[in-house]
A and B are shown apart, each in its own frame.
Chain A
């Protein structure tokens, strides 16, 4: 190389394109352009954000066929909860009437609060355990206990004694997490689509296990009000029309059976309670197939009358049951 050209920066030059290379490249680019155009047209839409369609579930009817041979309500007094529960089942036609072999059963006690059993803010653990044990004896393949608590759920289930009692009785405790709710059509006047604890879509039988308690806004929290504990979302809005909400929920969830805990009754400062001064011992459980009648019957434990509680008449008008429990076939026993 001459001295002159050495001073210049060496220039790199491209190779010339062959016809074959040109045709190949054009073919590839045309292919990519076609895919882009087709994909663009395919994905084109009028919505700014594409959301996946959420499946809307509907709750099934968990009730068993009516039978005129058995009473509709069973009132059992006594001191031993398990014998009382057995007596209630026997009165109403035996466990076999409600639970078949292989059934997946869901128990819905009230476990709303981080309270001890004696404070009567949650359903008694003895009642939950007894019902779970009877269901297992009747051949239920799996028994779950669940609730959507207001306080920290872990604490509520432990301190209410329900977690331990349920597990000892062979039931599983299910605390729904954020992914455990399914959009459900409640079909109510007020409640349309709400997120519902998914277990309610996965079981064959549902047993409502409320406790009889005072509640400032609705007057009382009994069987129908207990269905607040199956929904997620902003359920604190339901207070704005609590009576319609209660009836909507009761119309949406038709349980196999309701067994109400009136062994300890919280008469004031409900639904949270806290003071033992507000708790009285009535040593009774109320079981039955008519939630309206049961709620109406339970008012006696709180010194209330049906005319003070608007949701009862609303529920009767909706065909959910009868306020005048006195007209129904019932049995009252003591064990």
Chain B
């Protein structure tokens, strides 16, 4: 028996390495700089927390999210295997813990035994699920896959590119990248004090899987007769699930280290036998949990009365093409930044507080940084939750069978800054780059007498609002630095029925 058991740890290591490499490979393969890449949001679709909160917000399991059942169903039988066998963030924490934590037996036995603070994650999960029920998708803030994808996209990859590892043809910049980097480094650094701090204490997906594994028949079984109470099983324990005493099923990641470390052969994975030690259920106080639920519920009326992109049409909240109407968008977007990874012009940026507190890290288009490429529809193809619909190019640009293009907003001239309007200087770069045909930007030829009394002929630009798609290339290329002389705001966006100004429907 002892010969076969170390095999499980080796197997776990192989799986974890494979999935971590696969995750990184897919992240790198999502590069469309030459229009040849792979738009595979596989890991986000495998994520049961994303699928479940999405189900609570919008009563549907969107397309590929059904894949999450491939994690849910085995968890019901096997336990919380995802965390140490599949989760790339879990593997990253595992490796970081190996490097940062002092693995002296006395220290690791103390750090790896169960602590009441491990309950926090269940309270966080409760909060996220209650908020989901109320129509707000906030699980993405701490969902490990979304968090990892976001941190790598917004902070780590641009940093690596800046260091000389060529990831992009043009190094992107992201607003608030430093904040996301700091949080990411902090959760990694927490392994210095307790291995897998994130997984044990904070991870809401871990909590969900812990609950799902509650009735799993299989588990770590300790033979009370063989056990000599040496506590070596705690030495490399990842879950903090007390295999040395009464095993806590919902905390265990099935890392199998305890089985490999046991000198007596007292531990094994399987069904309980007559001399197997007892298991402990979820260590949760129902009253405390109800308090958290009530506290989350109480947030709703406040949320409904806060100025946010859901309660008000905000001019700077310009969403990617194909985005759902804002209320539905808020129900779907998990802030994973997959769209920002794939956007070829770096136009898509994580919001800070522009859309209200609940909108943090959702994607908006900032035309000064980049514009929406006329024929590009990649963001919708990688969005795992359908917050940005997968659209075809002809739908986006309004070619047959579609009769209107998808508008992101409308551009407005600032005549006080525009060179031909304010300073008698020829320009119309905006007209040159306008991608619609016929162009939304046009000009009047005027002859005026300038300050010195010399007659000059100028082309003064105008905008035809029903032709403008709000792509923002005019604002992006406007030579007036700082605040451009033509700026896009979200009004006129196709996805909204309220954020409109024209009485007549566009042709």
Residues of chain A whose beta carbon lies under 8 Å from any beta carbon of chain B: 114, 150-155, 157-159, 163, 175, 177-178, 215-217, 234, 236-237, 239-242, 269, 271-275, 278
Complex Cα–Cα for A271 and B434 (A): 9
Instruction: Decide: B436 and A274 in contact? CB cutoff 8 A.
Output: yes
Q: Which 10 A-B pairs have the closest CB atoms?
A: A274-B437, A275-B437, A236-B479, A154-B33, A152-B344, A158-B35, A236-B429, A154-B34, A237-B479, A239-B427
Instruction: Give, as a whole number of angstroms, the nearest-CB distance from B150 to chain A.
Output: 23
Task: Enumerate chain B residues within 8 angstroms of A177, measured Cβ to Cβ.
Answer: 169-170
Complex Cα–Cα for A157 and B33 (A): 11
Interface string of B419-437 (1 = CB under 8 A from A): 1000001111101111111
Q: Which of B2-10, B265-273, B276-284, B369-377 contacts A (4 or more CB under 8 A)?
A: B369-377
Contact of B459 among A152, A158, A216, A273 (CB under 8 A): A216
Nearest opposing residue in chain A for B376, CB measure: A155
Instruction: Decide: A215 and B432 in contact? CB cutoff 8 A.
Output: yes
Task: Enumerate chain B residues within 8 angstroms of A154, measured Cβ to Cβ.
Answer: 32-35, 169, 344
Please name 14 further chain A to chain B contacts, defined as beta carbons within 8 Å, in addition to the given A150-B433, A152-B344, A274-B437, sorted by A numbering: A152-B345, A152-B376, A158-B34, A175-B169, A178-B171, A217-B459, A236-B429, A236-B478, A236-B479, A239-B432, A240-B419, A271-B432, A272-B439, A274-B435
Contact of B375 among A114, A153, A157 (CB under 8 A): A114
Task: Enumerate chain B residues within 8 angstroms of A271, measured Cβ to Cβ.
Answer: 432
Q: Which residue among A154, A215, A271, A275 has the maximum number of chain B CB atoms within 10 Å of its CB?
A: A154
Contact of B170 among A155, A178, A216, A237 (CB under 8 A): A178
Task: Enumerate chain B residues within 8 angstroms of A278, measured Cβ to Cβ.
Answer: 437
Complex Cα–Cα for A154 and B376 (A): 12
Q: Give how many B residues have a beta carbon under 8 Å from the other chain's beta carbons.
A: 33
Residues of chain B whose beta carbon lies under 8 Å from any beta carbon of chain A: 32-35, 169-171, 344-345, 373-376, 419, 425-429, 431-439, 443, 459, 477-479
Nearest opposing residue in chain B for A114, CB measure: B375
Complex Cα–Cα for A251 and B427 (A): 22
Instruction: Decide: A239 and B434 in contact? CB cutoff 8 A.
Output: no
Q: Which residue among A163, A178, A236, A237 has the maximum number of chain B CB atoms within 10 Å of its CB?
A: A236
Instruction: Decide: B34 and A272 in contact? CB cutoff 8 A.
Output: no
Complex Cα–Cα for A114 and B32 (A): 14
Instruction: Decide: B428 and A152 in contact? CB cutoff 8 A.
Output: no
Instruction: Decide: B425 and A240 in contact? CB cutoff 8 A.
Output: yes
Complex Cα–Cα for A159 and B375 (A): 10
Task: Enumerate chain A residues within 8 angstroms of B428, measured Cβ to Cβ.
Answer: 216-217, 239
Task: Enumerate chain B residues within 8 angstroms of A273, measured Cβ to Cβ.
Answer: 437
Complex Cα–Cα for A237 and B34 (A): 28
Nearest opposing residue in chain A for B371, CB measure: A151
Instruction: Give, as a whole number of angstroms, the nearest-CB distance from A96 to chain B.
Output: 35
Instruction: Give, as a whole number of angstroms, the nearest-CB distance from B372 to chain A.
Output: 11
Instruction: Give, as a whole number of angstroms, the nearest-CB distance from B45 to chain A.
Output: 27
Nearest opposing residue in chain B for A243, CB measure: B426
Complex Cα–Cα for A177 and B419 (A): 30
Contact of A159 among B35, B169, B443 (CB under 8 A): B35
Complex Cα–Cα for A151 and B344 (A): 10
Instruction: Decide: A151 and B373 in contact? CB cutoff 8 A.
Output: yes
Contact of A114 among B373, B419, B427, B443 (CB under 8 A): B373
Instruction: Give, as a whole number of angstroms, the nearest-CB distance from A109 to chain B.
Output: 17
Instruction: Give, as a whole number of angstroms, the nearest-CB distance from A309 to chain B.
Output: 14
Contact of B477 among A150, A158, A216 (CB under 8 A): A150
Q: Which residue among A175, A237, A239, A272 has the maximum number of chain B CB atoms within 10 Å of its CB?
A: A239
Contact of B443 among A178, A216, A240 (CB under 8 A): A216
Instruction: Give, as a whole number of angstroms, the nearest-CB distance from A148 to chain B.
Output: 12
Instruction: Give, as a whole number of angstroms, the nearest-CB distance from B440 to chain A.
Output: 11
Complex Cα–Cα for A154 and B37 (A): 12
Complex Cα–Cα for A234 and B429 (A): 12
A-B contact pairs, 15 of them (CB 8 A): A114-B373, A154-B169, A155-B344, A157-B34, A163-B34, A177-B169, A178-B170, A216-B432, A217-B427, A217-B431, A236-B429, A240-B419, A272-B434, A273-B437, A274-B437
Instruction: Give, as a whole number of angstroms, the nearest-CB distance from B212 to chain A.
Output: 43
Complex Cα–Cα for A221 and B207 (A): 63
Task: Enumerate chain A residues within 8 angstroms of B373, measured Cβ to Cβ.
Answer: 114, 151-152, 155
Task: Enumerate chain B residues within 8 angstroms of A158, measured Cβ to Cβ.
Answer: 34-35
Query: Known contacts being A151-B373, A177-B170, is A272 close to B479, with CB within 8 Å?
Result: no
Query: Known contacts being A152-B344, A152-B345, is A269 close to B426, with CB within 8 Å?
Result: no
Complex Cα–Cα for A234 and B479 (A): 7
Instruction: Decide: B426 and A242 in contact? CB cutoff 8 A.
Output: yes
Nearest opposing residue in chain A for B441, CB measure: A216
Instruction: Give, as a whole number of angstroms, the nearest-CB distance from B208 to chain A.
Output: 39
Nearest opposing residue in chain A for B429, CB measure: A236
Complex Cα–Cα for A240 and B426 (A): 5
Task: Enumerate chain A residues within 8 angstroms of B344, measured Cβ to Cβ.
Answer: 152, 154-155
Q: Which residue among B33, B429, B432 has the maximum number of chain A CB atoms within 10 Å of its CB?
A: B432
Query: Known contacts being A155-B376, A158-B35, A239-B479, is A217 close to B435, with CB within 8 Å?
Result: no
Nearest opposing residue in chain A for B428, CB measure: A217
Task: Enumerate chain A residues within 8 angstroms of B459, measured Cβ to Cβ.
Answer: 216-217
Complex Cα–Cα for A178 and B479 (A): 19
Instruction: Give, as a whole number of angstroms, the nearest-CB distance from B377 to chain A.
Output: 12
Task: Enumerate chain A residues within 8 angstroms of B478, measured Cβ to Cβ.
Answer: 236
Instruction: Give, as a whole number of angstroms, the nearest-CB distance from A194 to chain B.
Output: 14
Complex Cα–Cα for A175 and B33 (A): 11
Task: Enumerate chain A residues within 8 angstroms of B427, measured Cβ to Cβ.
Answer: 217, 239-240
Task: Enumerate chain B residues within 8 angstroms of A274, measured Cβ to Cβ.
Answer: 435-437
Task: Enumerate chain B residues within 8 angstroms of A159, measured Cβ to Cβ.
Answer: 35, 375
Complex Cα–Cα for A271 and B429 (A): 11
